[in-house]
Amino acid sequence: MRVNVDAPAKVMLCLKWDVSNIQRRYLNIDFIVSDEKRNVMHYTTKNNISHCFISKLHEGCIYLIQDFRIMKNDTHMIELH
């Protein structure tokens, strides 16, 4: 399932982290966000644009996002401890 979303969504950035490969090469930034209905989602930026988000997004802040894609992913689950 892949859905393109054009309508804006208000989300809170709960968690942000850098992703690197086994050789410690920087790959991208991943995020955990929560929407107004308390749905929790995992976002991944593309490698070629992730540098745009490093200093602009902060944990605990509210953002209005748009023009994003939702994809089903039941093979990989994030487990927070």
Asked if 43 contacts 69 with a C-beta cutoff of 8 angstroms, the reply is no
Read off the pTM.
Answer: 0.72
pLDDT at position 5: 66
pLDDT (tens digit per residue) in 5-52: 667 889 999 999 989 889 998 888 899 999 988 888 888 888 888 888
Q: In terms of pLDDT, which residue wins out, 73 or 76? A: 73
pLDDT at position 13: 95
pLDDT at position 15: 94
pLDDT at position 4: 64
Residue-wise burial string across 12-30, b where 16 or more C-beta atoms lie within 10 A, e elsewhere: ebeebeeeeeeeeeeebbb
Q: In terms of pLDDT, which residue wins out, 41 or 3? A: 41
